[in-house]
């Protein structure tokens, strides 16, 4: 057992999502978006390097010493897998672990709407999962692949950086490829995928023009393509795709994107009001003729209006999701206010910290006054 394993076991046991092992600091865990330091002595550079090198292959060590940063996956049998990033900082090495728990969560466990099952039934087209760093996009992608693998006899190809969730043999067949280990780039993997008889292609991240272009082309040629992007809303996702192309190509891509886009699912993980975990707020844009025409005409600023009018079809804005959670008492008004597209809608639910403290003090004073005198 590697020396780092006991620390990772403790982190998993307390429900941490991330572990940071840094030179000059005790180990730090992130639980429900809050950082906590373990009670331990600060690690020296030599100690951190030993913890890192013990879990690297010789090839990975050579890459790290050449580039001073490295992405890889690590697994503790029977516990969890971890997405790992190692890098150099001014005090020495640092290692960041993201916990990847098995088995793969279902749509119901994640809070993904039932309608997404129908979206995943498409035989071709483009489905995008978007959100910021740490929003849970990889888990949602894995859940979508697992749903298809469970219910469809499809050949699914994935390209990931690194491979996070392991997909077992079910009704379909899943071949997983990892950047730097099984393919040189997303671009190469997508080009090759078209000759590898896939029904579904999952791309870990659409991060550059060539990858985006190949994904859209694949979605037009009889494949269902699922991928993620680091964007904060559905309409910003569409804008980012179009803006990644040179001006002279944008009219063509607007037409292609409008025809191929099946859904944009944007998600955020928000702290629960009771402090007992996170909830996933989301917005959902579904592809239809009206959306295709808006994209083609360059009127993407009207996409939020389509989502409002499409509620009966299952579309949802982020503010709709926030309102559901704040009215149900799942999140605080302040959390809703910070994440809202239209903050005025949530002003009535939000209290400043000073106001919250005042209310708490008044409640404590009232309780004290009700106690019988000794």
pLDDT at 156 over 60: yes
**Three-point CA angle 130, 276, 232, nearest 5°:** 15
Mode of pairing for the β-strands spanning 261-271 and 278-286:
antiparallel
200 or 367: which leads in pLDDT? 200
Rg of the chain over Cα atoms, rounded to whole angstroms, equals 23
pLDDT in tens, 212-256: 999 999 999 999 999 999 999 999 999 999 999 999 999 999 999
Virtual torsion, Cα 53, 58, 59, 65, nearest 10 deg: 50
CA distances, 367 to each of 58, 274, 322, 351, 360 (Å)? 64, 21, 33, 22, 11
Greatest pairwise CA separation for the chain in angstroms: 84
Angstrom distance (rounded) from CA 270 to CA 280: 6
Split at pLDDT 50, 70, 90, the class of 157 is very high
The answer to whether 271 and 33 have CB atoms below 8 angstroms apart is yes
Look at residue 371 in the predicted model and tell me its pLDDT.
58
The residue with tokens 């992405």 is 71
Kindly state the percentage of the chain with pLDDT values over 70. 94
Short-list 51, 46, 26, CA closest to 37: 26
Angstrom distance (rounded) from CA 353 to CA 337: 13
Q: Which domains does the chain have, with CATH numbers?
A: 4-100 (3.30.450.90), 107-316 (3.40.50.300)
Look at residue 102 in the predicted model and tell me its pLDDT.
87
The answer to whether 262 and 237 have CB atoms below 8 angstroms apart is no
Angstrom distance (rounded) from CA 334 to CA 92: 38
Split at pLDDT 50, 70, 90, the class of 164 is very high
Per-chain mean pLDDT for the chain: 93
pLDDT at 72 over 70: yes
pLDDT in tens, 291-349: 999 999 999 999 999 999 999 999 999 999 999 999 999 999 999 999 999 998 888 88
200-203, strands of its sheet edge to edge: 173-178, 155-160, 200-203, 224-229, 125-130, 261-271, 278-286
Angstrom distance (rounded) from CA 242 to CA 210: 13
Look at residue 353 in the predicted model and tell me its pLDDT.
45
Split at pLDDT 50, 70, 90, the class of 370 is low
- Write out the E strands in 115-233: 125-130, 155-160, 173-178, 200-203, 224-229
């Amino acid at each position: 057992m590697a020396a780092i394993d006991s620390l990772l076991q403790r982190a998993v046991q307390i429900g941490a999502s991330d572990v940071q092992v840094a030179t000059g600091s005790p180990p730090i865990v992130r639980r429900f978006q809050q950082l906590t330091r373990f009670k331990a002595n600060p690690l020296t550079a030599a100690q951190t390097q030993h913890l890192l090198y013990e879990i690297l292959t010789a090839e990975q060590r050579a890459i790290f010493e050449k580039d001073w940063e490295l992405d890889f996956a690590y697994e503790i049998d029977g516990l969890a897998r971890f997405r790992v990033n190692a890098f150099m900082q001014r005090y020495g090495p640092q290692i960041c672990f993201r916990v990847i728990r098995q088995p793969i969560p279902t749509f119901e466990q994640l809070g993904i709407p039932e309608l997404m099952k129908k979206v995943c039934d498409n035989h071709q087209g483009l489905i995008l999962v978007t959100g910021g760093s740490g929003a849970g996009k990889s888990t949602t992608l894995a859940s979508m692949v697992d749903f298809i693998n469970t219910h469809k006899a499809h050949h699914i190809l994935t390209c990931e950086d690194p491979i996070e969730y392991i997909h077992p043999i079910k009704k379909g067949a899943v071949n997983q490829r990892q950047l730097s280990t099984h393919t040189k780039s997303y671009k190469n993997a997508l080009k090759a995928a078209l000759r590898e008889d896939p029904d579904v292609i999952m791309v870990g991240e659409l991060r550059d023009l060539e990858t985006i272009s190949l994904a859209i082309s694949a979605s037009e040629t009889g494949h269902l393509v699922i991928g993620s992007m680091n964007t904060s809303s559905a309409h910003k996702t569409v804008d980012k795709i179009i803006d990644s192309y040179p001006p002279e190509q944008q009219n063509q891509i607007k037409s292609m994107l409008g025809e191929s886009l099946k859904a944009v699912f944007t998600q955020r993980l928000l702290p629960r009001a009771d402090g007992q975990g996170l909830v996933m707020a989301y917005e959902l844009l579904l592809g239809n003729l009206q959306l295709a025409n808006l994209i083609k005409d360059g009127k993407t600023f009207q996409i939020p209006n389509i989502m409002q009018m499409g509620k009966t079809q299952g579309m949802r804005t982020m503010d709709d999701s926030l309102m559901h959670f704040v009215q149900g008492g799942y999140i605080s008004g302040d959390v809703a206010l910070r994440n809202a597209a239209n903050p005025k809608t949530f002003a009535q639910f939000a209290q400043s910290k000073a106001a919250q403290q005042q209310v708490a003090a008044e409640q404590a004073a009232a309780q004290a006054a009700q106690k019988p005198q000794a």
